[in-house]
């Protein structure tokens, strides 16, 4: 085996394909394959047929405050990767929920950097225990989506170090194989060109020996990128690195030593993740774990004794998310789940007895893009009985014989060049989607159509809706927005019609086509049926929340409020029957004012594929809701220390709140949250006693004084120079059981960054052991010199 040549080393600095690196076989350097995450193994083809396990979102895992559970979920995702031949996963997402409007907030563990760092490191340890590599993302300050490709975050050094870099420091110490540089700028420099962060801090001060790669298409230059310390440009083929790196070295713009360092980091990572893999769980064990994890993240925010609700009474299950739950967000990391997953309504009917349960959606479950429930237009021999027949043509008008045909049971299609070979997407061509739709009701039906090019949708030959052309530079934005045009046609119940969508596209790196149909059921009729069902029931279980396209890439939310029609549904159901428990299937901090009159409120987040079984078990009391809030829920949107995410002049977004984001800012400003960070309850009671400073940290005795098994989360805070979580631990106890809970407190957690280094905030430290961030708790005083000397 020989050393790689300079040409081979420069080639290694760019990917070989969409999801793979280059290999240099003669030097013993293998290629490695990647997949997006973090909720599972995303299909590189963005194909609904590539089914994988779907774990709870990071916010739900954050709500668990359970490092052991999070590590086991990481191992589950690693097992999925191993089974699919994936060597490294772009996960976990270690950005922070700085604002509740952040479009990808569901991918974040929460708003606190220590909490995110500890849980992120646990997830990394679990994933990498299977032989799969973790590529932590997005380095750094990619905490929102609006104009993320041009956004320039302005943040002071103390805030950068103590808040936004801290989770990545935990990831580095956990030995993640790689880190993914974000799209945005920080203090004027692209993250892929951020020498201060990549070279000085990550590789220098932290001594990180892994590789740093770009987010997909996130590079902008050759020499500035390499000289800043970025090692690998993705995806391939090369755009700015690779062969251009060879030219830069030859011109003297990049030192050969820098390329050699990048190549060595890539080679080391490749060898590490292409070794032997292990499967951590059987199918049955995976299923049980996903149900356990979903329940562990449910946060019971309010309960007047209504829950748990024992079976044996007449129950109304109401709400769009009971039948069409939001399992996950709508990013490119979306996991393809089994179409046979049960809904919460089905699981509740199974647990409580179908004869005791009625269901009403109340409002439209897919207000933005409804489904397209069709049968294929023709049999192409693949055995599929639902979905559109998709034909791919080299021509731009669908003429001639199709190059390929397939049946796709989805209403949203995405094709990346180099991943999908059905059509000539890099040269231009056309796609035809066709199916047979049989209306269930007579009346006006509204059809939806969106595309990254010119498209038209016909019903029995008549054009109902069309879209215009999209410029090549705007294709990704059009795809990410998911916006659709609509048109209406009157149909007769039981009479089939032929639906045809023709799509013409110009060359681009990605294309998409999406469509749907909405029937004539009126808004008022649906609300009235829900209201009647609530009135007639002994108890109501009301499911409200989001759809998967509520949380997307490149778009933040306009507010934290529930959709107006859902807010009306809540008000009318509560007026009809106040014996109502509300389940909020929402992936971020939300306005919870509408739940004030409910008997109970559970924040369920995006709980993954175990949602249905877990929520039925929790509502019935078979399991406890084990979570506590990983984010603050403010009383008013104006109370959040950071809220508006629209950049100002020059694309700059100042992090003006500094270190006082989330609960830190709320407490510092004297503004109590509606539901504080760390708050929540279960189905039992706990007593705390004998708090003391001991063993380099603190300890407290916790006793379960209730008649059910349950879990408690002990949290430790300092209040100088602002309220800050410095440690936590979760303990599970049987009725009457007592345990001493110890929490190590490394000295670093009582330091702030200033004048070029870490400085203790004092030699004597005031602490409080608390149930949540606003709890005055059990005060203690510790000496700085007596704390654990561990680095983090």
All structural domains of the chain, each given as residue ranges with its CATH number in brackets, are: 6-273 (3.20.20.300), 290-368+522-652 (3.40.50.1700), 375-410+427-508 (2.60.120.260), 684-786 (2.60.40.10)
What would the two tokens of residue 450 be? 């969106």
What would the two tokens of residue 390 be? 């998709």
Contact present, 220 and 193 (Cβ < 8 Å): yes
- CA 95, distance to chain mean position in Å, is 11
What would the two tokens of residue 200 be? 């000085």
What would the two tokens of residue 567 be? 């807010």
Instruction: Please tell me the predicted confidence (pLDDT) of residue 348.
Output: 98
Instruction: Please tell me the predicted confidence (pLDDT) of residue 1.
Output: 81
Give pairs for 157-161: CB < 8 Å, separation 24+. 157/753, 158/658, 158/659, 158/752, 158/753, 158/754, 159/655, 159/658, 159/659, 160/186, 161/201, 161/753
What would the two tokens of residue 723 be? 């309220």
What would the two tokens of residue 20 be? 């793979």
Instruction: Please tell me the predicted confidence (pLDDT) of residue 334.
Output: 87
Q: Is the pLDDT confidence value at 439 over 80?
A: yes
Distance CA 48, CA 387 (A): 11
Q: Which of 235, 137, 135, 220 is nearest to 185 (CA)?
A: 220
Instruction: Please tell me the predicted confidence (pLDDT) of residue 199.
Output: 98
What would the two tokens of residue 163 be? 């808040």
- How does residue 553 score in pLDDT terms, banded at 50, 70 and 90? confident
Distance CA 584, CA 605 (A): 7
Instruction: Please tell me the predicted confidence (pLDDT) of residue 417.
Output: 84
Q: Is the pLDDT confidence value at 47 over 90?
A: no
Q: Is the pLDDT confidence value at 36 over 90?
A: yes
Q: What is the pLDDT of residues 75-108, one digit of tens each?
A: 999 999 999 999 999 999 999 999 999 999 999 9
Instruction: Please tell me the predicted confidence (pLDDT) of residue 245.
Output: 96
Instruction: Please tell me the predicted confidence (pLDDT) of residue 452.
Output: 95
Region 430-453 average pLDDT: 97
Region for residue 158 given its phi and psi (left: phi exceeds 0; alpha: psi -120 to 50; beta: otherwise): alpha
**Residue written as tokens 């562990």?**
296
Instruction: Please tell me the predicted confidence (pLDDT) of residue 185.
Output: 98
Distance CA 777, CA 728 (A): 14
- The structure's pTM equals 0.95
Mean pLDDT is lowest, of 171-185, 506-520, 620-634, for 506-520
Instruction: Please tell me the predicted confidence (pLDDT) of residue 423.
Output: 87
The total number of residues shown for the chain amounts to 792
- How does residue 333 score in pLDDT terms, banded at 50, 70 and 90? confident
Instruction: Please tell me the predicted confidence (pLDDT) of residue 46.
Output: 85
Instruction: Please tell me the predicted confidence (pLDDT) of residue 280.
Output: 86
Q: Which residue has the higher pLDDT, 619 or 755?
A: 619
Most distant CA atoms of the chain, gap in Å: 81
Q: Is the pLDDT confidence value at 477 over 90?
A: no
Full strand arrangement of the beta sheet holding 710-718: 724-733, 710-718, 764-770, 778-783
Concerning whether 215 is annotated as a catalytic residue, the answer is yes
Region 496-521 average pLDDT: 95
Strand, coil or helix: 672: coil
Three-point CA angle 458, 464, 467, nearest 5°:
90
- Packed helices 166-173 and 113-128: angle between N→C axes, nearest 10 degrees: 30
Instruction: Please tell me the predicted confidence (pLDDT) of residue 128.
Output: 98
Q: Which residues contact 346 (CB under 8 A, 6 or more apart)?
A: 612
| Catalytic pick among 66, 112, 152, 215 | 215
Secondary element (H or E) of residue 456: strand 454-459
Q: What is the pLDDT of residues 656-695, one digit of tens each?
A: 999 999 999 999 999 999 999 999 999 999 999 999 999 9
Q: What is the residue-averaged pLDDT of the chain?
A: 96
Q: Which residue has the higher pLDDT, 593 or 755?
A: 593
Full strand arrangement of the beta sheet holding 485-491: 412-416, 510-518, 443-451, 485-491
Region 436-462 average pLDDT: 97
Give the number of other Cβ atoms within 10 Å of residue 277's Cβ.
18
**Residue written as tokens 């708003």?**
111
Q: What is the pLDDT of residues 295-327, one digit of tens each?
A: 999 999 999 999 999 999 999 999 999 999 999
Instruction: Please tell me the predicted confidence (pLDDT) of residue 702.
Output: 98
Q: Is the pLDDT confidence value at 789 over 90?
A: no
Region 587-596 average pLDDT: 97
Q: Is the pLDDT confidence value at 472 over 80?
A: no
Q: What is the pLDDT of residues 688-732, one digit of tens each?
A: 999 999 999 999 999 999 999 999 999 999 999 999 999 999 999
Instruction: Please tell me the predicted confidence (pLDDT) of residue 396.
Output: 93
Q: What is the pLDDT of residues 213-225, one digit of tens each?
A: 999 999 999 999 9
C-alpha distances (whole Å) from 447 to each of 378, 390, 407, 470, 487 are 21, 18, 20, 21, 5
Region 4-11 average pLDDT: 96
Q: What is the pLDDT of residues 351-376, one digit of tens each?
A: 999 999 999 999 998 888 999 999 99
Instruction: Please tell me the predicted confidence (pLDDT) of residue 716.
Output: 98
Region 730-748 average pLDDT: 98
Q: Is the pLDDT confidence value at 480 over 80?
A: no
Instruction: Please tell me the predicted confidence (pLDDT) of residue 552.
Output: 82
Distance CA 685, CA 472 (A): 60
Q: Is the pLDDT confidence value at 791 over 90?
A: no
- How does residue 420 score in pLDDT terms, banded at 50, 70 and 90? confident
Q: Which of 215, 279, 237, 309 is nearest to 14 (CA)?
A: 237
- How does residue 750 score in pLDDT terms, banded at 50, 70 and 90? very high
């Amino acid at each position: 085996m020989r050393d790689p040549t300079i040409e081979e080393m420069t080639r290694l600095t760019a990917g070989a394909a969409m999801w793979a690196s280059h290999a240099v076989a003669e030097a013993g350097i293998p290629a490695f394959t990647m997949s997006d995450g973090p909720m599972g193994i995303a299909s590189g083809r963005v194909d609904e047929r590539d089914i994988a396990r779907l774990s709870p979102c990071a916010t739900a895992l954050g709500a668990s405050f359970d490092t052991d559970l999070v590590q086991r979920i990481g191992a589950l995702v690693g097992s999925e990767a191993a089974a699919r031949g994936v060597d490294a996963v772009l996960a976990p997402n270690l950005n922070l929920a700085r604002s509740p409007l952040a479009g990808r907030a569901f991918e974040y563990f929460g708003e606190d950097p220590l909490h995110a760092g500890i849980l992120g490191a646990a997830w990394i340890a679990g994933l990498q225990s299977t032989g799969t590599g973790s590529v932590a993302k997005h380095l750094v300050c990619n905490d929102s989506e609006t104009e993320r490709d041009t956004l320039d975050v302005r943040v002071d050094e103390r805030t950068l170090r103590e808040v936004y870099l801290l989770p990545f420091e935990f990831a580095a110490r956990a030995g993640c194989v790689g880190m993914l540089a974000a799209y945005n700028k920080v203090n004027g420099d692209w993250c892929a060109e951020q020498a201060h962060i990549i070279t000085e801090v990550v590789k220098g001060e932290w001594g990180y020996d892994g590789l740093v790669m770009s987010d997909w298409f996130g590079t902008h230059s050759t020499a500035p990128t390499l000289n800043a310390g970025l090692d690998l440009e993705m995806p391939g083929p090369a755009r700015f690195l690779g062969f251009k790196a060879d030219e830069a070295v030859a011109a003297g713009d990049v030192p050969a030593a820098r390329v050699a360092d990048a190549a060595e980091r890539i080679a080391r990572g490749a060898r590490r993740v292409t070794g032997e893999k292990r499967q951590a769980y059987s199918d049955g064990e995976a299923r049980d774990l996903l149900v356990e994890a979903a329940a562990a993240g449910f946060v019971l925010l309010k309960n007047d004794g209504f829950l748990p609700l024992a079976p044996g009474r007449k129950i109304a299950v109401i709400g769009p998310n009971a039948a069409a739950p939001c399992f996950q967000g709508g990013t490119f990391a979306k996991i393809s789940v089994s179409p046979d997953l049960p809904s919460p309504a089905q699981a509740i009917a199974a647990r409580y007895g179908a004869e005791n349960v009625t269901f009403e959606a109340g409002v439209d479950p897919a207000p933005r893009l409804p489904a397209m429930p069709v049968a294929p237009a023709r049999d192409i021999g693949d055995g599929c009985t639902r979905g559109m027949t998709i034909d791919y043509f080299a021509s731009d008008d669908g003429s001639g014989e199709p190059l390929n045909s397939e049946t796709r049971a989805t209403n949203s299609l995405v094709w990346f060049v180099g991943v999908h070979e059905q059509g000539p997407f890099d040269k231009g061509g056309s796609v035809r989607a066709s199916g047979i739709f049989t209306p269930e009701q007579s009346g006006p039906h509204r059809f939806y159509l969106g595309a990254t090019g010119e498209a038209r949708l016909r019903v029995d030959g008549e054009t109902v809706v069309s879209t215009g052309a999209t410029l090549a530079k705007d294709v990704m934005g059009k795809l990410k927005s998911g916006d659709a045009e609509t048109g209406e046609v009157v149909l007769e119940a039981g009479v089939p019609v032929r639906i045809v969508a023709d799509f013409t596209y110009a060359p681009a790196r990605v294309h998409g086509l999406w469509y749907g149909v909405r029937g004539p059921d009126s808004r008022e009729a649906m609300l009235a049926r829900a209201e009647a069902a609530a009135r007639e029931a002994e108890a109501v279980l009301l499911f409200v929340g989001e759809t998967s396209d509520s949380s997307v890439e490149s778009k933040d939310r306009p507010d934290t409020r529930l959709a107006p029609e859902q807010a009306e549904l809540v008000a009318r159901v509560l007026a009809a029957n106040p014996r109502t428990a509300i389940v909020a299937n929402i992936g971020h901090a939300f306005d919870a004012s509408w739940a004030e009159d409910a008997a109970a409120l559970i924040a369920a987040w995006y709980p993954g594929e175990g949602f249905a079984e877990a929520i039925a078990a929790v509502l019935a009391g078979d399991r406890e809701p084990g979570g506590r809030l990983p984010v603050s829920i403010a009383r008013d949107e104006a109370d959040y220390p950071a809220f508006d995410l629209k950049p100002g002049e020059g694309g700059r977004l100042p992090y003006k709140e500094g270190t006082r984001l989330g609960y830190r800012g709320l407490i510092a400003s004297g503004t109590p949250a509606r539901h504080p960070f760390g708050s929540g309850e279960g189905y039992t009671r706990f007593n705390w006693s004998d708090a003391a400073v001991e063993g380099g940290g603190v300890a407290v005795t916790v006793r379960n004084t209730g008649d059910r098994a349950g879990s408690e989360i002990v949290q430790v805070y300092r209040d100088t120079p602002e309220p800050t979580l410095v440690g936590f631990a979760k303990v599970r106890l049987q009725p009457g059981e007592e345990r001493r809970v110890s929490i190590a407190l490394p000295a670093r957690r009582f330091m702030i960054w200033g004048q070029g280094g870490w400085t203790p905030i004092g030699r004597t430290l005031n602490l409080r052991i608390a149930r949540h961030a606003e709890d005055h708790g059990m005060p203690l005083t510790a000496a700085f010199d007596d704390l654990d000397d561990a680095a983090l």
